[in-house]
Structure 1
């Protein structure tokens, strides 16, 4: 039972509440409002409260939902003329109470939406009234109005489009030409990128129109459709509080037009601030289009082109039905006027003066008319005879044969015109749309500018103004940490940066910029950069062997610990520049031909983060001297950096035994050349404070 009730409820919400019909573009409540306004139309404005009450004869829900739907429909400016305070879509102000505002059906709606003779009606929810199933809309109302709704298991988001462009597209379809692409057009205006619109199946990006007023003032003139000036102010103020943008004051002067002024502080300029507004606030929004409609009582996804094709087919269908009705009316009028002329001109009424019964009267009249049957287009019925017998004597005496013949000739000419329109229905439809466009098109100019927008990435324009301090005594790091030394230089980064924490033992961790976090003894603190290549010299504590390595910290998981060197090793030197050359000065020994090892990091292949480095020397090192500090890393200049990360991950961490061997490694071993006093002297000479932390940018 629950399942049955749920399916029934879901079907009702989808078909009768949330999703618009593709043919007239209206949800049921909108259709009932327009039907009610058309029914009570006398050319004067009607109080909205009264209209809501009348609509409740058709709509089974409350007055609040009807009132809200009426205000939204009126603010689209197509089918309802309004008088009074209907709110403001730019500022977000609500409408006045329904008893204080008035509305009426618009001329465009009366001309294009209504024709009772071709409209199907069904009983209303209580069976007391008749309401239309679908209005015979002869314009693409769905794409004009736009719509959005949430139903059970589905949603719809349809953008409004420009009135003139839609009619032009329909004219092209009728003429057999490929129509130009049709794109959204919003009452709020703005600047729109339709590169990914995909005929209504993609998305658009819309920006506010922002104009610099000198270097120190910015004025927002138009806003995106999903926001209001009030909401936009909130998003700007929120971004300012978070330090993403810098403004000294903000003022909203919006009324019927948007005017938001932003004053900038010293050192901040309009060009940079405009890009920040697009990146951090609702001045730029991305909206997905979901063109879901009810078509033949079934919800389905369509494209803009498919909707236009459907609406154009319906236009031809409605115009054909109206022409056939007109043809029937002209045929009937021709028949009536011809019979009347025959009846009076040939004095057939004289034949019934001596008839005593109704049957004989009908019989004599019919006999008289049949003598002129060749002038008629159809058979004579009893209803025709009865109408003739009801003609008053006064009309017979004043009957003007010449005038009647003129009227019959005009009727025949009109019938020929209708026949011609039916035979050439598409040119007639083109003429109809052209007349509608000429009559109403000037009221609906395009408001939203179409342009190809550059992508403003917040990461690219983020201000580098977050200062990270390191407490080297208590091992804390963060923006709310007091440095352990007064003259310590903070690490300056953006809100999107991550920090690399690297200890002497090679354990590495990447974290977000914290407010305050305990990190333990950490020697190297750097800003994470996936393209950065690090060059290190490290030593094996047990064997005393020295290694060199170049690597990237590419892919990583936040707060996960990685080891960039093997266990029981210690990092002696780390460099971030490109082209660094160092010299390892060995403990002097007469048994070796050289007492120094030169390491040019350019000659060392790039390795994965977890791979072992290249062995440099097994001898004891007295000092490490930097011969060339190199330059800031330039990724484009590194050919070997093109090595894939996947290939690097396959390297064997133990493959260092086959790497480069220096000449002095073959001459002697450290145990053979040094005495204990010499070893102690070396240790004192090159002692390195392994626990001393410092910042490295």
Structure 2
């Protein structure tokens, strides 16, 4: 049987025996089917386990920041790598990326993008070169052309090897931090966004100074109020922020000012937008006829300046409101604070994150003070030991000793009278350190300087112990010093305001005309050969009533069917459906009585028919009109009756002002049971004469 080798696929060489003749498959037995099902179940379990492993890895190791330091793994590794390279000078970003690849197993592109985003937040990285423009959306230069180093703020609050828990890197060759010992609410200051498997995170940035004030307030048992502050400025309505919890949102607006009669200037952007994307949304709204502008100019450099030129006769206020309604000048930003804590994702509020950061800082400062106290006490211990060893000439007693054990014993015996002066036991290691002192140092020993050194150490120990005893006060001082040292220039950029949602129908430009063919029942802005009704926009709704008393509301289009024999058609105000009041006279059925009704439409559903009559077949609208509810005057009509034997009264007058205004489903008041010839609207003079 010949042996055939398959092509190399994915670097796996597969070899198998190729039969020279086709082999007929044997029929499957019950045992074979059972074994196949068992194998399938096993594969399902394997895929389930693999998916859970993958999802957990993405959540914990890539997309979601950690509560302890507010960093994603790639950000933490970048900062750790920069600390390794730190020498006070700038490093090429390409070199930082290369060094970070020792810790991050996902390639240089992801590291470079994360580093640029981290640098653009202007808090932890001191940048040099073209790092892009967050206002215009321009990208940064290549990594080989730009440089970076850690900021002074990062060096002060992010790193401390003595309080860091270390882990082995992915290949086991290096050590990397589990989390960095950040002594500041970094996550709330920078914000974060990430999408994992079945999980997302969106944390809005907050003001640097307000966060420090909030930490101090928490330590003083007060309740701080946290609201976002965006680097692009703008205006924000935080009434629905809900402390950053899931479901909370913030409405953000660009700052627009009127420069001249026909010129608007956008000077600040809403969060998450660039000048390019904002201008695109403005041009798109203009092309769709929602707003009307002449042209847009982008003069943005270090500050935002987008000039919007308006046509002659435009109302700048109306156009400004239209920009909020139809472009990205107003956005709603949702928040979802999700962080990793205790190796699991948790959902928090902004206040929870601030509390965690404050307590974390307090605990880190306590640990640093404890380490510092231990080091000072150890230094005091050896300095005092050295002073006694030299001043009491204990070193001379070892000159005649012949063995190492005897030397150690002699020193130990010499120190015996002074052991009660020390705070801890003198160990053999202490004696070995004394024996390593060189004779040159012994000969130049200065008792006065030694006493001053010990006295300084005792003062430092006392101060450190005092800080430990008053840890909360010490932590407040830490935050106050940070605010004093780094708070300049970090004042709030986003103005807080309360603004109502702009109703699109109120500001859209009526650049179309509504036409109608009443007999056939069609209406729309594309029927230019038919009867013109009124000006409209493509966002408007149309209300139509036909002769059978059917009311329908539908969105305006080029051409739509509303029912034959229309008796009324107009633009429908969905924001205020009761802004118009209707006067109607109709016949109930083919031979029923004639009724008058005075009503408002109320809320309606699009493209659904409503009966304004009682719904009997053959009902017919004899008269209908409408007037503004606020300040309008209802009609009065004369109903002329058909002549009939013994009919003395040939007409009826109806004054709708005397009829109560009811809903559209009300039946109305019976006027006459006699057949009606026609209904005529009374003139104002006739109404006044009849009333007199």
TM range (shorter): 0.7 to 0.9
Q: What SS does the corresponding residue of 1:290 show, helix, strand or coil?
A: coil
Question: CA–CA distance in 1 between the matches of 2:649 and 2:196?
Answer: 82
User: After superposition, what is the alpha-carbon deviation per residue over 1:70-114, rounded to whole angstroms, capped at 9, x for unaligned?
Assistant: 000001111111111111110000111111111111111111111
Q: What SS does the corresponding residue of 1:509 show, helix, strand or coil?
A: strand
Residue 7 of structure 1: how far off its partner (Å): 1.4
Moved more, 94-103 or 191-200: 191-200
Residue in structure 2 matched with residue 196 of structure 1 by the alignment: 240
Q: Is the 8 A contact 1:579 1:629 kept in 2?
A: no
Residue 421 of structure 1: how far off its partner (Å): 0.5
Residue 279 of structure 1: how far off its partner (Å): 1.3
Residue in structure 1 matched with residue 689 of structure 2 by the alignment: none
Structure 2 counterpart of 1:602, from 654, 657, 670: 657
Residue 249 of structure 1: how far off its partner (Å): 1.3
Q: What SS does the corresponding residue of 2:606 show, helix, strand or coil?
A: coil
**How does 1:307-346 map onto structure 2 within 5 Å?**
307-346=353-392
Structure 1 counterpart of 2:347, from 287, 301, 324: 301
Residue in structure 2 matched with residue 80 of structure 1 by the alignment: 125
Structure 2 counterpart of 1:133, from 148, 173, 178: 178
Residue 504 of structure 1: how far off its partner (Å): 1.5
Residue 342 of structure 1: how far off its partner (Å): 1.1
Q: What SS does the corresponding residue of 1:372 show, helix, strand or coil?
A: helix
Structure 2 counterpart of 1:25, from 66, 70, 79: 70
Residue 328 of structure 1: how far off its partner (Å): 0.8
Q: What SS does the corresponding residue of 1:521 show, helix, strand or coil?
A: coil
Question: CA–CA distance in 2 between the matches of 1:427 and 1:224?
Answer: 39
Residue 419 of structure 1: how far off its partner (Å): 0.6
Residue in structure 2 matched with residue 144 of structure 1 by the alignment: 189
Residue 471 of structure 1: how far off its partner (Å): 4.0
Question: CA–CA distance in 2 between the matches of 1:357 and 1:608?
Answer: 115
Residue 507 of structure 1: how far off its partner (Å): 3.1
Residue 613 of structure 1: how far off its partner (Å): 4.1
Residue in structure 1 matched with residue 626 of structure 2 by the alignment: 576
Q: Is the 8 A contact 2:519 2:565 kept in 1?
A: no
Question: CA–CA distance in 2 between the matches of 1:385 and 1:540?
Answer: 117
Distance 1:269 1:583, change over 3 A: closer
Residue 520 of structure 1: how far off its partner (Å): 5.7
**How does 1:24-423 map onto structure 2 within 5 Å?**
24-179=69-224, 181-201=225-245, 202-423=248-469
User: After superposition, what is the alpha-carbon deviation per residue over 1:573-602, rounded to whole angstroms, capped at 9, x for unaligned?
Assistant: 111135222121234568344322122223
Q: What SS does the corresponding residue of 2:289 show, helix, strand or coil?
A: coil
Distance 1:157 1:395, change over 3 A: same
Q: Is the 8 A contact 1:501 1:522 kept in 2?
A: no
Structure 2 counterpart of 1:545, from 575, 586, 593: 593
Residue 175 of structure 1: how far off its partner (Å): 2.2
Q: Is the 8 A contact 1:338 1:375 kept in 2?
A: no
Question: CA–CA distance in 1 between the matches of 2:200 and 2:353?
Answer: 17
Q: Is the 8 A contact 1:186 1:447 kept in 2?
A: yes
- Which runs of no fewer than 5 residues in structure 1 stay unpaired? 631-697
Q: Is the 8 A contact 1:210 1:220 kept in 2?
A: yes
Q: What SS does the corresponding residue of 1:371 show, helix, strand or coil?
A: helix
Question: CA–CA distance in 2 between the matches of 1:590 and 1:357?
Answer: 151
Residue in structure 2 matched with residue 657 of structure 1 by the alignment: none
Question: CA–CA distance in 1 between the matches of 2:675 and 2:418?
Answer: 133
Question: CA–CA distance in 2 between the matches of 1:264 and 1:527?
Answer: 27
Q: What SS does the corresponding residue of 2:523 show, helix, strand or coil?
A: strand
Question: CA–CA distance in 1 between the matches of 2:105 and 2:489?
Answer: 35
Distance 1:515 1:489, change over 3 A: closer
Distance 1:295 1:628, change over 3 A: farther
User: After superposition, what is the alpha-carbon deviation per residue over 1:488-525, rounded to whole angstroms, capped at 9, x for unaligned?
Assistant: 43322233321123222223332211112355633232
Residue in structure 2 matched with residue 665 of structure 1 by the alignment: none
Question: CA–CA distance in 2 between the matches of 1:271 and 1:548?
Answer: 43
Moved more, 31-40 or 269-278: 269-278
Residue 627 of structure 1: how far off its partner (Å): 2.5
Moved more, 441-450 or 115-124: 441-450
Q: Is the 8 A contact 1:190 1:209 kept in 2?
A: yes
Moved more, 132-141 or 190-199: 190-199
Moved more, 89-98 or 287-296: 287-296
Residue 210 of structure 1: how far off its partner (Å): 1.1
Question: CA–CA distance in 1 between the matches of 2:328 and 2:343?
Answer: 38
2:499 equivalent to 1:444: no
Distance 1:541 1:196, change over 3 A: closer
Question: CA–CA distance in 2 between the matches of 1:174 and 1:474?
Answer: 76
User: After superposition, what is the alpha-carbon deviation per residue over 1:377-396, rounded to whole angstroms, capped at 9, x for unaligned?
Assistant: 21111111111111111111
Distance 1:16 1:448, change over 3 A: same
Question: CA–CA distance in 2 between the matches of 1:550 and 1:629?
Answer: 19
Residue 406 of structure 1: how far off its partner (Å): 0.6
Question: CA–CA distance in 2 between the matches of 1:408 and 1:390?
Answer: 20
Residue 608 of structure 1: how far off its partner (Å): 5.0
User: After superposition, what is the alpha-carbon deviation per residue over 1:507-566, rounded to whole angstroms, capped at 9, x for unaligned?
Assistant: 333221111235563323222343133222223574263222334433433333343332
Question: CA–CA distance in 2 between the matches of 1:522 and 1:100?
Answer: 74
Q: What SS does the corresponding residue of 1:508 show, helix, strand or coil?
A: strand
Q: Is the 8 A contact 1:44 1:104 kept in 2?
A: yes
Q: What SS does the corresponding residue of 2:400 show, helix, strand or coil?
A: coil
- Which runs of no fewer than 5 residues in structure 2 stay unpaired? 1-45, 628-632, 686-692
Q: What SS does the corresponding residue of 1:81 show, helix, strand or coil?
A: strand
Distance 1:542 1:382, change over 3 A: closer
2:548 equivalent to 1:489: no
Q: Is the 8 A contact 1:199 1:304 kept in 2?
A: yes
Question: CA–CA distance in 1 between the matches of 2:125 and 2:640?
Answer: 89
Count of equivalent residues: 626
Distance 1:121 1:85, change over 3 A: same
Q: Is the 8 A contact 1:214 1:270 kept in 2?
A: no
Distance 1:593 1:516, change over 3 A: closer
Q: Normalising to structure 1: TM-score of the pair?
A: 0.86
Question: CA–CA distance in 1 between the matches of 2:682 and 2:560?
Answer: 37
Question: CA–CA distance in 1 between the matches of 2:303 and 2:620?
Answer: 67
Question: CA–CA distance in 1 between the matches of 2:286 and 2:95?
Answer: 47
Q: What SS does the corresponding residue of 1:100 show, helix, strand or coil?
A: coil
Question: CA–CA distance in 2 between the matches of 1:311 and 1:160?
Answer: 15
Residue in structure 1 matched with residue 551 of structure 2 by the alignment: 508
